[in-house]
């Protein structure tokens, strides 16, 4: 049984908990996999630790009431440990870092990550911040600690982008990855194609929960750039920082641009591109024959250009609760296989 500590219990960690709640029998029977949540630490909604495991149903009941403190009293339950203590002193085998991203400092998550590896725990990331700031430090630390560092959920949610690029295509030389890595901007561009203005489409994306109240990380291209940076590091061992990326968002794209591309049989997409030499995120007018041109709404996609296979394209969800939760599960399954 793999024992898990969840750092952060938002959307994504809840997506994983939900899968574990509903699919544990199937995962055990088909894959011999079994996991138990022993710790949950949040910044403002309390924290719980129980070496014999927390009941997922009760976690949901408590969090829906607003705070983990609502979790019932049971033998062996500890309340209120701070996150660092949870990482250092809990009996978890794996720390799942799912707190909000900070692309400038990676903090406080970056400290949590190093502490988890110091404590001899595997590390599974949903949070891009620490990887954007310190990918190579973390990889080196994990190697020295003899523990796994995995981050499938950070790029295209649970679509197996990292897995395909680094494992399924391991025998290929990948020279370039091009992708639509941000769902909000792709949704906006899709809506503009049916006549909506940029402002209307953005408002709708916000209403549907795709875009944040402050949509700048999405529409200015930085969310896509962060994902592209992680992908480049994983594929090419690239040392790029976000500052090395040429980044341009979609706010300059007019309804007129979109409509006139359409009459030419083309489509504007926010394309992230990385090679061993560098990376960019910018709106590109693609011919409709490009697989990326046909990726609509909040769906994401990546095309790997390879030596032996030519282009291989993977299309799948780029966001969502169960979709991103599955990315965490996929990493846990890899840890299970290796262990």
Q: Of 64-72, 161-169, 259-267, 271-279, which part binds a second copy (CB under 8 A)?
A: 161-169
- Mapping DSSP to helix (H, G, I), strand (E, B) and coil, where does residue 314 land? strand
Q: Which is nearer to a second copy, 47 or 323 (CB)?
A: 323
Q: Of 99-107, 211-219, 270-278, 306-314, which part binds a second copy (CB under 8 A)?
A: 306-314
Q: Is 227 a catalytic residue?
A: yes
Which residues sit opposite 296 in a β-bridge?
none
Using CB under 8 A, which of 121, 163, 227, 267 touches a second copy?
163
Using CB under 8 A, which of 72, 171, 252, 339 touches a second copy?
171
Q: C-beta of 92: minimal distance to a second copy in Å?
A: 20
For 25, phi then psi, to 5°, come to -65, -45
H or E, element range at 206: helix 198-207
In 161-309 the beta strands, taken as DSSP E runs, fall at: 174-180, 246-247, 266-275, 278-287, 299-306
By CB under 8 A, tell whether 313 contacts a second copy. Answer: yes
Cis? peptide before 135, omega within 30° of 0: no
Closest CA relative to residue 146, chosen from 166, 125, 113, 118: 118
Which residues sit opposite 282 in a β-bridge?
271
Q: Of 138-146, 211-219, 257-265, 319-327, which part binds a second copy (CB under 8 A)?
A: 319-327
Using CB under 8 A, which of 12, 27, 54, 233 touches a second copy?
27
Q: C-beta of 20: minimal distance to a second copy in Å?
A: 10
- What residue has token string 């019932």? 72
By CB under 8 A, tell whether 318 contacts a second copy. Answer: no
Using CB under 8 A, which of 83, 148, 186, 323 touches a second copy?
323
By CB under 8 A, tell whether 310 contacts a second copy. Answer: yes
Using CB under 8 A, which of 51, 53, 108, 160 touches a second copy?
160
By CB under 8 A, tell whether 173 contacts a second copy. Answer: yes
Is 316 within 8 Å of 206 (Cβ atoms)?
no
Count Cβ atoms within 10 A of the Cβ of residue 332 and give its class: 0-12 exposed, 13-18 middle, 19 or more buried. buried
Using CB under 8 A, which of 285, 325, 335, 339 touches a second copy?
325
Q: Which is nearer to a second copy, 168 or 277 (CB)?
A: 168
By CB under 8 A, tell whether 170 contacts a second copy. Answer: yes
Q: C-beta of 334: minimal distance to a second copy in Å?
A: 9
- Mapping DSSP to helix (H, G, I), strand (E, B) and coil, where does residue 116 land? helix
Using CB under 8 A, which of 159, 185, 238, 280 touches a second copy?
159
Count, residues near a second copy per rule CB under 8 A? 45
Q: C-beta of 163: minimal distance to a second copy in Å?
A: 5
CA angle 321, 156, 11 (to 5 degrees): 20
CA angle 295, 329, 11 (to 5 degrees): 70
Distance between CA atoms of 26 and 33, rounded to whole angstroms?
9
Is 187 within 8 Å of 201 (Cβ atoms)?
yes
Q: Which is nearer to a second copy, 42 or 324 (CB)?
A: 324
Spot the catalytic one: 121, 128, 227, 269: 227
CA distances from 15 to 148, 229, 255, 322 (A): 22, 25, 36, 5
By CB under 8 A, tell whether 82 contacts a second copy. Answer: no
Distance between CA atoms of 71 and 67, rounded to whole angstroms?
8
H or E, element range at 125: strand 122-125
Binding residues for a second copy (CB under 8 A): 19, 23, 26-27, 30-31, 33, 157-160, 163-164, 167-173, 288-289, 291, 293-296, 307-317, 322-323, 325-326, 329-330, 333
Residues taking part in catalysis: 227
């Amino acid at each position: 049984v793999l024992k898990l500590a969840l750092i952060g219990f938002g959307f994504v960690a809840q997506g994983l908990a939900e899968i574990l709640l509903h699919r544990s029998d199937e995962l055990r029977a088909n894959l011999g996999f079994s996991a138990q949540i022993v710790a949950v630490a949040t910044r403002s909604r309390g924290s719980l630790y129980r070496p014999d495991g927390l009941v997922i149903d009760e976690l949901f009941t408590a969090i829906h009431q607003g705070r983990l403190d609502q979790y019932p009293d049971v033998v062996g339950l500890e309340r209120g440990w701070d996150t660092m203590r949870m990482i250092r002193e809990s009996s978890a085998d794996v720390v799942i870092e799912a707190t909000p991203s900070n692309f400038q400092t990676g903090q406080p998550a970056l400290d949590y990550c190093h502490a988890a590896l110091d404590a001899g725990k595997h590390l599974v990331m949903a949070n891009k911040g620490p990887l954007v700031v310190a990918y190579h430090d973390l990889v080196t630390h994990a190697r020295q600690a003899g523990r796994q560092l995995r981050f499938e959920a950070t790029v295209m949610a649970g679509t197996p982008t990292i897995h395909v690029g680094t494992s399924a295509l391991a025998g290929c030389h990948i020279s370039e990855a091009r992708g639509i890595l941000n769902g909000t901007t792709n949704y906006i561009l899709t809506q503009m194609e049916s006549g909506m203005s940029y402002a209307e489409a953005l408002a709708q994306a916000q209403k549907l929960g795709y875009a944040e109240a402050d949509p700048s990380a999405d529409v200015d291209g930085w969310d896509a750039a962060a994902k592209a940076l992680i992908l480049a590091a994983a594929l090419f061992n690239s040392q790029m920082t976000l500052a090395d990326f040429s980044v341009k968002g979609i706010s300059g794209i007019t309804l007129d641009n979109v409509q006139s591309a359409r009459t030419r049989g083309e489509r504007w997409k926010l394309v992230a591109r990385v090679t061993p030499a560098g990376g960019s995120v910018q709106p590109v007018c693609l011919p409709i024959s490009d697989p990326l041109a046909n990726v609509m709404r909040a769906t994401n996609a990546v095309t790997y250009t390879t030596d032996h296979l030519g282009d291989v394209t993977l299309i799948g969800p780029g966001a969502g609760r169960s979709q991103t939760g599955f990315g965490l599960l996929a990493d846990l399954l890899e840890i299970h296989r290796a262990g």
